[in-house]
Amino acid sequence: MKKSITVSGTTSIDTGRRNFLKLGGIGVMIAGLALVGCDDDNFDYNPGNNIFDLGAGDVGVLNYAYALEQLEADFYTKVVNNFYTGASTAEKEILTDLYHHEVIHRDFFKAALSGATTQVLPTLEFQYPNVNFNDRTSVLATAKALEDTGVAAYNGAGKYITNPTYLVIAGKIVSVEARHASAIRDLINPGTAAFSGDDVIDPTTGLDVAKEPKDIVAVAGGFIKTPFTWKERGIG
């Protein structure tokens, strides 16, 4: 993917972490090529109303993921085009890496859906009423919330995917999202165990938290201006 944003400067401290993030994004992009253009019997859902419905079966899950990736890509686009005051070189590099990953994820889902169905979620509009993009604490807290929500969303929706190809890709993407979440948490509380806190990791099972789509939309919906429904999952 051609980069549209370049951040100058280098750092030795975060090289390993940045390579860890970069490899995750590249892996998903390559693996995802196999998904584009795949067919699925569920890709014919038409809700018959003016508000877009995410759809039934696998197409609904893919549109759901596409909505969340649109949100994350939009957020990081705003962050990297006008970094908050006092952002360090290391922070700029990491946030720029996350921006590129989310754009890859967003564009991947759009291409995959467009190659398989006409039931593709349109480009959404977003709002950030409580986010101060010039303040480090506000930006990183929002990034943390979005990344944690994204991981929980993929984990919760995985059981609704019937096509094994889609399930493998979703598993690859959620692993990258989990790395994002850990990187953001480490920026907020460096050198601590916060990167795998008990609020996102079940201390009894050691597994990431999983949340149902309706619970995710209830949280992320505050950022999304464009209305949509997902009747199959009781949303809208």
Q: Which residues of 11-35 are buried (b: 16+ CB within 10 A; e: fewer)?
A: eeebeebbeebeebbeebbebbeeb
Give pLDDT, residue 49.
57
Q: Quickly list H helices, 82-199.
A: 89-114, 136-157, 164-188
Quick: pLDDT tens for 77-122: 999 999 999 999 999 999 999 999 999 999 999 999 998 899 999 9
Between 203 and 180, whose confidence is greater?
180
Instruction: Tell me the pTM.
Output: 0.80
Q: What is the DSSP string of 45-89?
A: ----SSS-B--SHHHHHHHHHHHHHHHHHHHHHHHHHSPPTT--H
Quick: pLDDT tens for 125-178: 999 999 999 999 999 999 999 999 999 999 999 999 999 999 999 999 999 999
What is the longest distance spanned by two Cα atoms in the chain? 55
Quick: pLDDT tens for 35-58: 433 444 343 334 445 899 999 999
Residue 193 binned pLDDT confidence (cut-offs 50, 70, 90): low
Q: H or E segment at 22?
A: helix 15-32
Q: In degrees to the nearest 10, what's the CA dihedral of 232, 129, 179, 99?
A: 100
Q: What is the DSSP letter of 189?
A: S
| pLDDT exceeds 60 at position 11 | no
Give pLDDT, residue 232.
97
